[in-house]
Structure 1
Amino acid sequence: MDFLMSGLAACGACLFTNPLEVVKTRMQLQGELQSPGTYQRHYKNVFHAFITIGKVDGLAALQKGLAPALLYQFLMNGIRLGTYGLVEAGGYLHTAEGTVNPALSAATGALAGITGAYLGSPIYMVKTHLQAQAASEIAVGYQYKHQGMFQALTDIAQKHGLVGLWRGAMGCLPRVFVGSSTQLCTFSSTKDFMTQWEIFPPQSWKLTLVASMVSSIAVVLAMTPFDVVSTRLYNQPTDAQGKGLMYRGILDVLLQTARTEGIFGMYKGIGASYFRLGPHTILSLFFWDQLRILYYTYIK
């Protein structure tokens, strides 16, 4: 039941945050491996990106990749939050005094996140391709010509086999490792701290909301550079064997980006990342925690 509740909570959040994921993806690909000031900036900031995409591609384009986004969130977060919830409910993350152990919490969140992200990697790759697709006048990054999620998965599998479906999967692992461990550790620790100080009642929705907000800030700061790496690894063009033509791996993305775009290139789209990850983190953790409270209080 924990896995189902976790997946549904993440999907509920995804419905509202997917347009921000579209904006974030395009801003991270904008000016890829080009020096600042040498390329046309189609998307000047988050708000300008929304207006530009809606005007040129149409309002429906702001929900591009929604199907794979929902499937990925259900799979990845169902495994991640579900596993973490079971471990936490079993009391394995607490010290002898009953407080949350930050190291155990971070490690559990990271391992659960990596498992979910690796299994869902093909879906995330297709989501990235679909969200990057745009009209030629505002296109950034390599443009795949997928017609939909199933067509994309079938086409990639036929051309490159199972290896092709998991291309770039290693790039998503540091992203999820850092993001998941930071998110769940800060969320649990903040709740634990506020409970000890009796700032809110133990099962108050306010407690969940504040802990989710604190977690969202920490996640974005820690995760954005790895998110840029993941997006670029997934979206790069490939040769006939399915090998990336722009990057050899995670370290190569970091080095090339820092050399051509400067260190701030690794934080491209951080505004969009917060507007996307912030609400998503808050909503998914809030729904997840509230569903668990209802289940363990009134059903189980």
Structure 2
Amino acid sequence: MPEKKGFASAAEPFVCGGSAATFASIIIHPMDLAKVRMQLYGALNPGKPVPGFASILSSLVKNDGIGSIYKGVDAAIGRQLVYGTARIGLHRFISDKMVEYNDGKPINFGMKTLSGMASGSIAVCIGTPFDIALVRLQSDSMAPVDERKNYKNVFDALTRTVKEEGVGALYKGLAPNILRGMSMNVGMMACYDQAKEVVATLLGDPMTNGPGLPTQVGASCVAGFTAALFSMPFDLIKSRLMAQKPDPVTGKLQYGGVVDCTVQIFKKEGPAGFFAGFSAYYGRCAPHAMIILLSIESITKGYRNLFGLN
């Protein structure tokens, strides 16, 4: 029994974090789909105004049916089972170890930031192939009819990408994705941990048995905003690099890499181009972060009760 409890305790942040991330991803998938399409619209339709996410979703439902707004949800689930589990679980594991080395005292924001950056970058390296599949599934119908891949599902997208472009294609956009993962984890996890302490102090919440609901809501609102603000430019660059495919005539890619993509966006779309689709991104990112952060507390309590870890 002690060995079982020891394993359950070690697995707790990963199981609870992955469960919360997957749950949140399913709920906000339509907004994520709209976000990706808004980010790619500028590259496919230069000079034209980017439509809002409500317009994009209504157009999808009208043209392809209600099921179209959940296109690529299998890739989203696969991504969160890998990426979400790793980034949340590793952050909790690393930050808990930091507290131990700090003689059980709360760690400062700088240490929380380091934990968020480390766990975010590691998780991205593990989950990027699923991210590639997700972006391609979501953006394929935007391409001209004769250039569409018509992927059947996440596994079809993964296998065909490797077959047609090589294994390296599964890690296209890795650099901006790492930057996005680091900024997202700092904005979401590190800022949540810090905001939780501040909000608890303001509300007089002792957090004896964990943070109260008002503390959770207040801290998750802050974390949702900072996660979106910190990661938006990197997310846009990542989406552009991951969605690009070789020109059918020349075989060349539109962007030569992170720097070239950044320069082209700045020249053609201006500084505001890095925040194209921010309404959809915030509408996706903030609720996603809040759902994860609110649900993970409840999931963790249930997990601890189940395995007698309280």
Common fold, TM-score beyond 0.5? yes
CA distance in 2, matches of 1:135, 1:178: 28
Which of 142, 146, 154 is 2:151 aligned to?
A: 146
Once the two structures are overlaid, the 10-residue window that deviates more, 25-34 or 266-275, is 25-34
SS of corresponding position for 2:294? helix
The offset of 1:205, in angstroms, is: 2.3
Seen in structure 2, the aligned counterparts of structure 1 residues 30 and 101 have a Cα distance that, compared at 3 Å, is same
Q: 2:246 aligned with 1:238, yes or no? A: yes
2:199–2:218 Cα contact (<8 Å) kept:
no
C-alpha root-mean-square deviation of aligned residues, in Å?
A: 2.5
CA distance in 2, matches of 1:163, 1:272: 30
Seen in structure 2, the aligned counterparts of structure 1 residues 89 and 221 have a Cα distance that, compared at 3 Å, is same
Seen in structure 2, the aligned counterparts of structure 1 residues 97 and 126 have a Cα distance that, compared at 3 Å, is closer
For residue 232 of structure 2, what is the amino acid of its counterpart? T
Seen in structure 2, the aligned counterparts of structure 1 residues 33 and 150 have a Cα distance that, compared at 3 Å, is closer
2:187–2:226 Cα contact (<8 Å) kept:
yes
Identify the structure with the greater helix proportion. Answer: 2
The offset of 1:270, in angstroms, is: 0.2
Which of 56, 59, 63 is 1:56 aligned to?
A: 63
Seen in structure 2, the aligned counterparts of structure 1 residues 195 and 268 have a Cα distance that, compared at 3 Å, is same
Can you give the 5+ residue segments of structure 2 that lack an aligned partner in the other structure?
A: 1-10
TM-score by length of 2: 0.86
1:101 maps to 108
1:171 maps to 176
1:114 maps to 121
CA distance in 2, matches of 1:297, 1:209: 23
1:229–1:250 Cα contact (<8 Å) kept:
yes
Which of 2, 11, 15 is 2:26 aligned to?
A: 15
CA distance in 1, matches of 2:148, 2:190: 37
1:94–1:101 Cα contact (<8 Å) kept:
no
CA distance in 2, matches of 1:224, 1:181: 13
CA-to-aligned-CA distance 1:205-237 (integer Å, 9 cap, x gap):
221222111100111111111111000000001
CA-to-aligned-CA distance 1:140-193 (integer Å, 9 cap, x gap):
9x8443222111111122233322222222221111111111211210001111
CA-to-aligned-CA distance 1:79-120 (integer Å, 9 cap, x gap):
111111123334538966933311111111111111111111
**Aligned-residue identity in percent:** 23
For residue 86 of structure 1, what is the amino acid of its counterpart? F
CA distance in 2, matches of 1:219, 1:8: 19
Once the two structures are overlaid, the 10-residue window that deviates more, 230-239 or 195-204, is 195-204
2:269 maps to 261
Q: 2:47 aligned with 1:47, yes or no? A: no
2:222 maps to 214
CA distance in 2, matches of 1:70, 1:194: 32
SS of corresponding position for 1:230? helix
Can you give the 5+ residue segments of structure 1 that lack an aligned partner in the other structure?
A: none
CA-to-aligned-CA distance 1:114-134 (integer Å, 9 cap, x gap):
111111111101100111132
1:25 maps to 36
SS of corresponding position for 1:88? helix
CA distance in 1, matches of 2:241, 2:100: 34
TM-score by length of 1: 0.88
